[in-house]
Amino acid sequence: MTAVAAKPAAGGAMNPTAMVVGLVLLVIILGICWKVSPGLGLMALIGMVVGGVLIGFGTHFVPVGGAPAAMGQAPGIATGVAMLAAGAGLAGLFGGAWAAEQGLVVAVVTGAIGGGLMMAITCMMVNFIYVFGMGIPAASGKVKVDPITGDTQPEFKSQGTEGHGLPFVSFVGGVIGGILAGGGGTLIYLMLLDLYKATLPTLMKATEAQIMPVAISAAGIFAVGMFLVNAVLTAYNITGTIEGPHDPKFKRWPRAVVASAVASALCGLAAILIVVV
C-alpha cells in the first residue's frame, strides 16, 4: 500500500457545505477589513491568513505519536500535535523576529529554517533515544515501505505494537512541518509589526522609536496567540496521532486549511481593529 492508495481513516470525510460556509466567512471578514482599512490593514490581514494557512498545513507534516509513542506502541514523537508544532514554530519565530530588519523574504526564510532546525534536532534525538536508549529500530505502522528510502517496515514492528520511532519519511515530514510553521508564524509577526509601526505613532502621538517596544511586543504576542490557534485547530483535525505525510490522516489537510484561514482572518481582524478603529 502506498500513501496515494491509502484510504482516509474514519472521520476524514470532507463536508462541502462546511467548506463553503468557511470560505464565505473568510470573504466576509476580508470585506469588513477592506471597509475599515482598505490599504495597509487588508494587506496585513491577507498576510496573516497566508501565515495561518502555512501553520495549519505544516502541522499535518509533524509526526506525533502522543502517549502510545511514549510506550513504543506507535510511531512518532511522544508529545501532543499542537505542542510540538508550537515549539518548532515559536523557535522559528524567534529567529525570524531577529531578522525582521533584513526584509520580509529573508526574515520569513530565516524563521522557516529556525523551525526546521528545531525539528531536525528533535527528530534526530528521538531516534537516538529509541535506538541507543531502548534498542528499538524505527518502523512505520501505516505503510509497508518507506516512500523515500524504500525500506520495508512490517518486519521491524515489534509484536503487539503499531510501530515505533521515526522512519525516515517521518523525519522529513517533521522538518517540512517545522519549516512551514516557522515561516508562517514569522509572516504573521512581520505583517502585524509593519501595521503597528505605521499606525501606532499617530494613535499614541509618539515617534516610531518610542512605540517600537510596544509594537514588537504586541505583534509578538498576537503571533504566538495566532500560532496556538492554528496549531490547536489542526490537532482537532488530526484527532490524536499522525505519522507524517504518508499517513492517511494527512489527506484531511484541506479541512484544516479552510478552518485555519477563517480563524486567522478573525483573529487578525481583532489585531487590526485595535489600531485602526
| Residues within window 122-161 making contact with another protein, judged by CB under 8 A | 122-138, 144-145, 149, 151-161
**Which one of the spans 14-22, 42-50, 89-97, 203-211 is the region binding another protein (CB under 8 A)?**
89-97
User: Least CB distance from residue 224 to another protein, whole Å?
Assistant: 6
Q: Which is nearer to another protein, 16 or 213 (CB)?
A: 213
Give the one residue of 80, 104, 239, 276 binding another protein; rule: CB under 8 A: 80
Q: Which is nearer to another protein, 56 or 111 (CB)?
A: 111
Residue type at position 108:
V
User: Least CB distance from residue 39 to another protein, whole Å?
Assistant: 25
Q: Which residues of 188-204 are buried (b: 16+ CB within 10 A; e: fewer)?
A: bbbbbbbbbebbbbeee
Q: Which is nearer to another protein, 37 or 59 (CB)?
A: 59
Give the single-character DSSP code of 1.
-
User: Least CB distance from residue 93 to another protein, whole Å?
Assistant: 7
Give the one residue of 29, 48, 54, 91 binding another protein; rule: CB under 8 A: 91
CB 258 within 8 A of CB 224: no
Give the one residue of 51, 53, 140, 171 binding another protein; rule: CB under 8 A: 171
* Phi, psi (rounded to 5 degrees) for 139: -155, 135
Alpha-carbon distance 165 to 139, whole Å? 6
Give the one residue of 33, 53, 120, 266 binding another protein; rule: CB under 8 A: 120
* Phi, psi (rounded to 5 degrees) for 250: -60, -30
* Residue 90 interacting with another protein (CB under 8 A): yes
Distance in Å from the first CA to the final CA of the chain? 55
Q: Which is nearer to another protein, 138 or 256 (CB)?
A: 138
- Under rule CB under 8 A, which residues in 33-72 are in contact with another protein? 66-72
Q: Which residues of 51-89 are buried (b: 16+ CB within 10 A; e: fewer)?
A: bbbbbbbbbbbbbbbbebbeebbbbbbbbbbbebbbbbb
CB 265 within 8 A of CB 30: yes
User: Least CB distance from residue 58 to another protein, whole Å?
Assistant: 15
- Under rule CB under 8 A, which residues in 205-244 are in contact with another protein? 213, 216-217, 220-221, 224
Give the single-character DSSP code of 9.
P
User: Least CB distance from residue 134 to another protein, whole Å?
Assistant: 5
Give the one residue of 9, 73, 104, 201 binding another protein; rule: CB under 8 A: 73
User: Least CB distance from residue 180 to another protein, whole Å?
Assistant: 14
Q: Cell numbers of 191, please?
A: 505583517
DSSP 8-22: PPTT----HHHHHHH
How large is the angle between the packed helices 168-204 and 104-128, nearest 10 degrees? 140
Give the single-character DSSP code of 250.
G
Give the one residue of 33, 118, 188, 259 binding another protein; rule: CB under 8 A: 118
Q: Which is nearer to another protein, 190 or 267 (CB)?
A: 190
